Amino acid sequence: MEPYHDLFEQLFGIAGQAGNVGGRLIDGGNPFEAPRQRDFPQPPLEILESGRIFKAAAQSLGYKPFPLPAANSPRAYTNPDGASLAPCQYCGHCERFFCEANAKASPAVLLYPLLRKQRNFEIRLHSQVTGLVYDKHARRVTAVQFIDLQTAQMYEQPADVVVLSGFTMTNTKLLLTSGIGRPYDPKTGEGVVGKNFCYQVMSSVPVFFKDRFINPFMASGASQMVVDEFNGDNFDHAGLGFFGGGYIYSNVTNGRPINARLHPAGTPRWGSAWKQANADWYAHAFNVAVHGSNYPHSRNYLDLDPTYRDAYGSPLLRMTFNFHENDHRMSEYVTNKAAGIARAMGATTVGAAQPRRGDFDARQYQTTHTTGGTVMGADPSTSVVSPHLQHWDAQNLFVVGASVYAHNAGYNPTGPLAALALRLGDDLVRYARQPRML
């Protein structure tokens, strides 16, 4: 997979510091990363004041911090396809918005303008796919059904090869509503479509510096310093009672005053004292955060709701999910490590560590990086698609996206997702030349 990871980084101008080139460890990069063939195509983003504080504290504890690889472009960049990015302006409106400076790598900026020039490519806007036409006897998908949202006309698009490349939830729902594959049954543990649904386990420790100017408005969507000592299998789990882990980082990604406000414990929730706390601490605080893994559980899954339907008459997708003992134990351990880094910073005030406790609460936003539901594997009895993302029950159907992940690692799933998609491009060429199970 490494060549496809490298190609993704070149196409999207990823900024970062390599930690392992050809087996040679590089100072300043991630010492735990697998060998890569060359460095990132762009140098890492500027280290923010929060990152400087985090870096010094982490190094004082013997950790090896490094800048988080980012799709924010630190300088003007032209990718191998000739598409260009401009330098990041480090504004406070980044991670949830398109970039007015054209400094954020995304398909909308780097991919679709190129594809629209191709005569054999067509994108149909204002359309909603509602299902796949499946020939169960022939084990093939013969067409895709969609609605033109402007005319309400239903269309059926015949196809020799179909790639399902929606969001995690969308991929799973379309397979379930189209009757492709066996739905997962949590009572028996049998079936495959909808199982292994995973979330992420997030936590944080707030820090406040009376005499250090943090200025969260000078940030980018991925301008963090990171330590990886407690992520995945990078540490000894013997006797800890849990699997997985997470990376710890200085969490400054935006400076929107309404969204990014930290207050010390005891601050009133309204009134003049609350307003004064906003003025005092807006530019003097940040979170030391944990981005934690989430492993599959037999009682976490996706299925079709038996009662509720969407605007097109299809059953809604139902998410059954909760955090379990492994999540709580992992979060407690790694968040305590984050608290140790926070205490080493010399902050005026270190807030209480906030590991994940209790049940999942859908009312509070936590993350959208969900995975699973159409997992890949070598055994058709336990997976939806093959290692080449080919559906076991429909030879001409391929599924790509975070829905094919068997679990959710500490990092967001973007990098491996892009690498799998690029590899699928080569596999589709092979399949078109000679249709078969790859």
Q: Spell out the per-residue pLDDT of the chain, length 438, in tens.
A: 999 999 999 999 999 999 999 999 999 999 999 999 999 999 999 999 999 999 999 999 999 999 999 999 999 999 999 999 999 999 988 888 889 999 999 999 999 999 999 999 999 999 999 999 999 999 999 999 999 999 999 999 999 999 999 999 999 999 999 999 999 999 999 999 999 999 999 999 999 999 999 999 888 989 899 999 999 999 999 999 999 999 999 999 988 888 778 999 999 999 999 999 999 999 999 999 999 999 999 999 999 999 999 999 999 999 999 999 999 999 999 999 999 999 999 999 999 999 999 999 988 888 889 999 999 999 999 999 999 999 999 999 999 999 999 999 999 999 999 999 999 999 999 999 999 999
- If one counts every other C-beta atom within 10 angstroms of the C-beta of residue 94, the result is 23
Q: What 3-state DSSP class applies to 109?
A: helix
162-164/397-399 β-pairing: parallel
Which pLDDT value is given to residue 366? Answer: 83
Q: Using an 8 Å Cβ cutoff, are 57 and 341 in contact?
A: yes
For the entire predicted model, the pTM comes to 0.95
Which pLDDT value is given to residue 259? Answer: 78
List 251's β-bridge partners, or say none.
287
Which pLDDT value is given to residue 110? Answer: 94
- Strand spans (E) along 216-298: 225-227, 246-251, 285-292
- Cα–Cα–Cα angle for 403, 223, 290, rounded to 5 degrees: 60
In whole angstroms, give the CA distance from residue 158 to residue 161: 9
Non-local CB neighbours of 36 within 8 Å, separated by 6+ positions:
2, 5, 6, 18, 20, 21, 22
The crossing angle, in degrees rounded to 10, of helices 49-60 and 325-343 is 100
Non-local CB neighbours of 152 within 8 Å, separated by 6+ positions:
none
The number of helix segments (H) and strand segments (E) in the chain equals 8, 17
Q: Supply the Cα-derived Rg of the chain in whole angstroms.
A: 23
Which pLDDT value is given to residue 106? Answer: 92
Active site residues: 369
Q: What 3-state DSSP class applies to 2?
A: helix
Non-local CB neighbours of 312 within 8 Å, separated by 6+ positions:
128, 130, 147
